[in-house]
Amino acid sequence: MVLKLGLLLVFFAVMIIVGIQCRRHATDVKGFVLGGRAVGPWLTAFAYGTSYFSAVIFVGYAGQFGWKFGIASTWIGIGNAVLGSLLAWIVLGRRTRLMTQHLESATMPEFFGKRYLSTSLKIAASVIVFIFLIPYTASLYNGLSRLFSMAFPGVDYSVCVIIMAVLTGIYVIAGGYMATAVNDFIQGIIMIFGIIAVIAAVLSANGGFMESLNGLAAVEVQGNAPGAFNSFFGPDPLGLMFVVILTSLGTWGLPQMVQKFYAIKNEKDIHKGTVISTLFAVIVAGGCYFLGGFGRLFTDKLTFLPNGAIEGGFDAIIPTMLSGLPDILIAIVIILVLSASMSTLSSLVLASSSTLTLDMLKGHIIKNMDEKKQVLIIRILIVVFIAISAFIALNKDKLSAIADMMGISWGALAGAFLAPFMYGLYWKKATKASVWASFVFGAGIMVLNMLFRSSFPTIMQSPINCGVIAMLAGLVIVPAVSLFTGKPDAKFVDETFACYEEKVSVHKKESLGN
């Protein structure tokens, strides 16, 4: 117990010190929200990765999909690395940095407003962000409850929630984006070494990698072929594909993820950040899902209800797998999950508060807002968002509607934003009406799925499958609607895309020239 508490206190102290040290970078809106657009490749890449992977991934998704797909769930982590990190940086990174700077937009809703010349689009986007990021934020606390009860018997879950909320609030309010980025880097290092150590310990406890695979091969579940859980694509390849697409392509439309590209310093940082972010995802995401794939080896330690369901749900699987580890490793796991949760929490509350301040309050509700007032209101809203998410987490059993919304928030955000954002960077003919169509369809279908799930076709009753369909449909809806609606102002669009045509000089090692 002394060892666990000691490591936690050191971790908490480092986070607070970083927040205080980064205060000088958070004196104006550009510095507080974007780090002055001067954040280096390591900090940007780790900020991207740690915002991507939270306790929801490590405890919830790894346990659930590892149980369903076996060792094939590792494909989800590989998809996150290739599609969610590598291709996201290649396709979106440079263009996002250039156009958002050209349009002077600091948030995704502000980008929509300026790119499509529509204040109403900006406000609508900020409303969607507010509605769907709050439950997503609250879900981050869920993965901690069982781990803390395992590591600290007798310590109430509410203590963990309050400590995490207060600590995250302190360093984000003090240092803004730069404090978040530096702490994300520290937390990312912990996540990398932590997941490697945990995988090694769990496999060792089952006789090593080959023995663990043999154990999975021996698992037989009615309706599945023998050896399905250690096979290449698992017992449900189609279901696996939907999960890969949602958790990988979905990042392209999440405001807290895309906003990381706004802050990149220069061209070299994009190249380095792409490599670093991809490797981080391979280790952390690949490691989490790889670990979860061995969950069925611990069936004898799980408690099952009369209907065959696991007591405590899928969230009980990973804590059960880790319960037999030495105290030092359990302490590392606690800090690992805290790191994963706090890094994502800080990113989400910063995105939510800055969006609400800059896109909804500024110029609409509060007419005159200077730089100091904007930063002050963002800080106040950070407190509000963290308090709301903590309240939801502490009352999650009573707020079932919110709990349902947690599962659809990713699909709603990505379904609404992915297509209009990507087409806005690449295609001059995208229209305002097509963006409205994407917003309404993406967010609307996920809300309807939550309220009337049983009325949907079988394949769409799963929030994951429905989220994938919402994202892919947006890629068709935007160009289709654009062809039949009023064309955008050609002069404005040409001026907007001119930021890509500006010539720069580079060294011959970067280009051979003519």
Q: What is the pLDDT of residues 325-347, one digit of tens each?
A: 787 787 777 777 777 777 777 88
Q: How far apart are CA 422 and CA 424, in angstroms?
A: 5
pLDDT, mean of residues 261-268: 80
- Which pLDDT score, from 0 to 100, does residue 510 have? 65
Say which range, 201-215, 276-290, 324-338, 475-489, has the weakest mean pLDDT.
Answer: 324-338
Residue spans of alpha helices (H) in 206-303: 209-217, 237-249, 255-262, 267-292
SS3 509: coil
**Which residue type, as a one-letter code, is found at position 93?**
G
- pLDDT category, 115, cuts 50, 70, 90? very high
Q: Which residue intervals of 263-314 are DSSP H helices? A: 267-292
Cβ–Cβ under 8 Å, residues 143 and 55:
yes
Find, among 61, 59, 240, the residue nearest to 143 by Cα. 59
Q: Give CA 316 to chain center in angstroms.
A: 22
Flag whether pLDDT at 355 surpasses 70: yes
Which 8-state DSSP code applies to residue 369?
-
Q: For the residues 21-50, what does the mean pLDDT come to?
A: 76
Cβ atoms of 318 and 58 closer than 8 Å? yes
Q: Which residues of 213-236 are buried (b: 16+ CB within 10 A; e: fewer)?
A: bebbbebeeeeeeebbbbbeebbb
pLDDT at residue 92 in the model: 92
Predicted pLDDT at 401 = 47
* Proportion of the chain above pLDDT 90, given as a percent: 22
- Amino acid, res. 137: T
Q: What is the DSSP string of 184-203?
A: HHHHHHHHHHHHHHHHHHHH
| CATH superfamily name and code, 2-114+150-398 | Sodium/glucose cotransporter (1.20.1730.10)
pLDDT at residue 37 tops 70: no
Predicted confidence (pLDDT) at residue 383 exceeds the cutoff of 50 = yes
Residue 64 has pLDDT above 90, yes or no: no
Please check the confidence at residue 402 and state whether its pLDDT lies above 70.
Answer: no
Instruction: Please state, in angstroms and rounded to a whole number, the distance separating the CA atoms of residues 219 and 227.
Output: 7
Instruction: State how far the alpha carbon of 277 is from the alpha carbons of 271, 280, 351, 362, in Å.
Output: 10, 5, 20, 34
Per-residue pLDDT at 255 exceeds 90: no
Highest mean pLDDT among 49-58, 65-74, 179-188: 65-74
Return the ∠ at Cα 113 (arms to 107 and 263), rounded to 5°: 25
Chain segment 210-237, per-residue pLDDT in tens: 888 888 888 877 666 677 788 888 888 8
What totals of helices (H) and strands (E) does the chain contain, helices first?
A: 23, 0
pTM given for the model: 0.86
pLDDT of residue 406: 62
